[in-house]
Amino acid sequence: MDQKMLLERVESLYPWLKQVRRDFHQNPELGMEEYRTRDKIAAYLKEMDIEVQTGIANTAVVGLIRGGSPGKTIALRADMDALPMQDEKSVSYKSAVDGKMHACGHDAHMAILLGAAKLLSEIKDQLNGNVKLLFQPAEETVGGAKPMIEQGVLENPAVDGVLGLHVSTEEYTGQIGIRYGQMNASSDGIKIILHGESTHGAYPHSGVDTIVMAGQIITSLQSIVSRNVDPRDSAVVTIGTIQGGTKQNIIANRVEMIGTVRTLDPEVRSKVIDRIEKLVTQVASAMGGRGEVLREEGYTALVNDDRMVDLVRNTGRGLLGEENVLEVKHATLGVEDFAYFAAAVPGAFFRLGCRNEEKEIIYDGHTTLFDIDEEALKTGVAMQVSNVFSFLGEGQ
């Protein structure tokens, strides 16, 4: 399929792409609960006469398009889960589920992958090789990529390369962002438990106040990035929740806080974790209490493969023009469990611009007003279909 035909076909698919994306947007489901989403995806793929597998990693869906002639296999991945947030947009397609929202664009990622699947399935006889469609649950929580790999999704046929994309309001619609090497950080979850001694709020000297201890610790934790990490490196320490106390006049004897640590470099990662442990235990002890830190290792860092990035860059230059293929300057401290696919086979993750100031599409992901310029759905489909052609090569 030449570029002109591809763009025409994508244009004619646009109403369907919007409808698919809006349906997901209105019906968000959290990680590992993507049951409706799974069933919808499986039904769409079956309608397209694509081989479908479910029952993997709880709610994952894997599609397989077998090309007309033998060749390599490329996998395209989309994440499926929504976030526990209230949708505050005033649009007809806003979330219909209280407290849940597609605030990170996974609805768009799924619509794009389904759009690419539809186009590729129509011309599958022309493909030299296969296309695997990986619909992955729980990117925002426990991660679906790792269990999918463990359950064999990169085998039978063996996958030779993998591509994923993420909508981004840092680039405008019609642009993509690429990066060689390190793309996303690694993460660690931390739980901090502070033990003190309760007493009457009017007689604090008789107890050990874990609320004041928590205040001291939260402030001190912020000095790790500013005073222990080399300014030329990157790290983030965020406390996301804090819980403790029962009444205004009782000194709280227990506080629990949870947070996330993001780093780009393994040495910085161990140093930050070590400093957190020392700070929590020693500040708590100095204040007469006890502090514990429980660490939960999160996602691995996402490192792009140079040749796969070359492929995306060349596709982008041909399709969107050289000026619309932007180099992402810094790796992000966000994490992405696409990292596990990219660690298993050569992979590239790129950003798909969806910013449009005229339509007020300017809000970052994980905010209650987040939305995308839906025109970007077309760019996403055209990019992924072209990437597949370049990777596999077209037949006669």
Ligand X SMILES: CC(=O)N[C@@H](CCC[C@H](N)C(=O)O)C(=O)O
Give CA–CA dist 118/76, Å, rounded: 13
Exposure class string for 215-230: b at 16+ Cβ within 10 A, else e: ebbeebbeebbeeebe
Stretch of 69-77, 230-238, 275-283, 333-341 lying at the interface with ligand X (CB under 6 A): 333-341
Q: Which is nearer to ligand X, 162 or 183 (CB)?
A: 183
Q: How far is the CB of 144 from ligand X (least distance, A)?
A: 11
Q: Is residue 93 within the footprint of ligand X (CB under 6 A)? A: no
181-184 and 302-304 as β-strands: parallel, antiparallel, unpaired?
antiparallel
Q: How far is the CB of 183 from ligand X (least distance, A)?
A: 12
Q: Which is nearer to ligand X, 103 or 131 (CB)?
A: 103
Q: Which is nearer to ligand X, 112 or 335 (CB)?
A: 335
Nearby residues of 88 by Cβ (< 8 Å), 6 or more positions away:
368, 369
Known active-site residue 374: yes
The catalytically annotated residue of 171, 299, 336, 340 is 299
Question: Cβ distance 353 to 166 under 8 Å?
Answer: no
The catalytically annotated residue of 33, 34, 139, 374 is 374
User: What is the maximum alpha-carbon separation in the chain?
Assistant: 85
Please name the residue that has the structure tokens 């490196």: 233
Q: Which is nearer to ligand X, 28 or 174 (CB)?
A: 28
Within the chain, how many helices (H) and strands (E) appear?
A: 9, 14
Give CA–CA dist 75/57, Å, rounded: 17
Residues 281/284/290/292 CA torsion (nearest 10 deg): -40
- Chain residues 235-264 in contact with ligand X, contact rule CB under 6 A: 260
- Chain residues 111-150 in contact with ligand X, contact rule CB under 6 A: 139-140, 142-143
- Chain residues 175-214 in contact with ligand X, contact rule CB under 6 A: 187, 189
List the binding residues for Mn(2+): 104, 106, 140, 166, 366
Reading the block at residue 288, the tokens are: 């007469």
Q: Is residue 298 within the footprint of ligand X (CB under 6 A)? A: yes
Please pick, from the candidates 135, 299, 338, 389, the single residue that binds ligand X as defined by CB under 6 A: 299
Q: Which residues participate in catalysis according to the annotation?
A: 299, 374
Q: Which positions lie near ligand X, rule CB under 6 A?
A: 139-140, 142-143, 187, 189, 260, 298-299, 334-336
